Each structure stands twice: as C-alpha cells, then as structure tokens.
Amino acid sequence: MEMEVNINVRIRDLNKIYQKIAEKVDEIIPIEWNAFYLNGEVDKKEGGVFFFFNTSDELNQYIYSHEIPDIFNVSEDDYDTQYIELFNLCIELQEKFIEYGQEPWYSFDMILQSNGKLNIHYGYTQWNKSDYGPTDRIKYFQYKYLNKALSNEKEKKKFEEMKKYENNTN
C-alpha cells in the first residue's frame, strides 16, 4: 500500500509541474492556440526551451516561440522573463525526477492539444555532446513532430543520421 501511495504522490507531483508548464506556455502565447509542441533540454540546470504552436485557423502553420515578440509586438523583456520562468519549470521537472531516484532525462517534449490531450516524451540523448547544434535540433524537432518537409537531400541525410544517433543513445 505504501508503494502505491508513493507512486500516486509522484504522479500527482509530476502532473502539477506539467500543468504549470502548460499554463506558462498559455500565458506566453498571446492568441488562442490549437496545439503546442514544446522541447526543453536540461543538463545540470543549463540548456534551453522552445515551442511551436498553431491555431485552429491554420493547422499546418506553426509559429516558433522565439518569434512571438516580433510577430505579436510583445516586449522582449516580458518575453525573456516568461521564457526564464518556463525554463525554470523544466529544471524543476528534472529535479523532481532526480528526487524520486529516476535517471535524469536530457530532453523533455510536451505536446498539448487545446482539447486537453497531452503527450509527454523524455529523451536521454545528450544532444549537447553531439556534433548537432541547436539549429539542427530545432529543425529535427520540426521534422519529427510537425511534419516539416525536407528542403533537400543533405537535410534528409542529416535527419536520418540524427535519428540513428538518437536511437543509439536514447
């Protein structure tokens, strides 16, 4: 019974952090959204977070989170403050994993539909120790989750290599 309670407490605690992350993303997005796709990378409290979102009017058009200030005339300072808060929630999530004796993940993907459907994926590939930089990883994320069309054979080859790297190290 005690183990059951422990598991229920852990699930409840993780769900609270998921909810905080979702609420923070909702605060950051200045318009009504249909779905968002978030990626957080954390390694020893360093890393980054980004997300893409779409609207019900344009389901196949995704807006990159770091373009919000320019597209929606949002203050850079306000965006940066909320971005830091969002990243700190990703750190909090990883710390909760460590507190519960779980292997710390390197990347965290959250996909949330406006109807409440939630998908979570934890990745253990340490991309920061690879030859793939942040831009490569963002484009790979778009390819993997947003069905981004490949721009050329070179990009196709790179994504195939990244998928192989991810499968071998995850």
Determine contact, residues 132/45, Cβ cutoff 8 Å: no
Domain encompassing residue 135: 131-170
Q: What is the pLDDT of residues 16-75, one digit of tens each?
A: 999 999 999 999 999 999 999 999 999 989 999 999 999 999 999 999 999 999 999 999
Domain endpoint, select from 104, 124, 144: 124
Q: Clarify whether residues 20 and 89 are in a common domain.
A: yes
Q: What is the pLDDT of residues 77-96, one digit of tens each?
A: 999 999 999 999 999 999 99
Q: Clarify whether residues 137 and 170 are in a common domain.
A: yes
Q: Tell which residue, 98, 99, 101, 104, has the closest CA to residue 47.
A: 104
Q: Clarify whether residues 161 and 99 are in a common domain.
A: no
Torsion 148-153-156-158 (CA) sign: negative
Distance CA 99, CA 81 (A): 27
CATH number of the domain enclosing 87: 3.30.500.20
The confidence score (pLDDT) of residue 78 equals 97
Q: Clarify whether residues 135 and 63 are in a common domain.
A: no
38 bridge partner residues: 51, 110
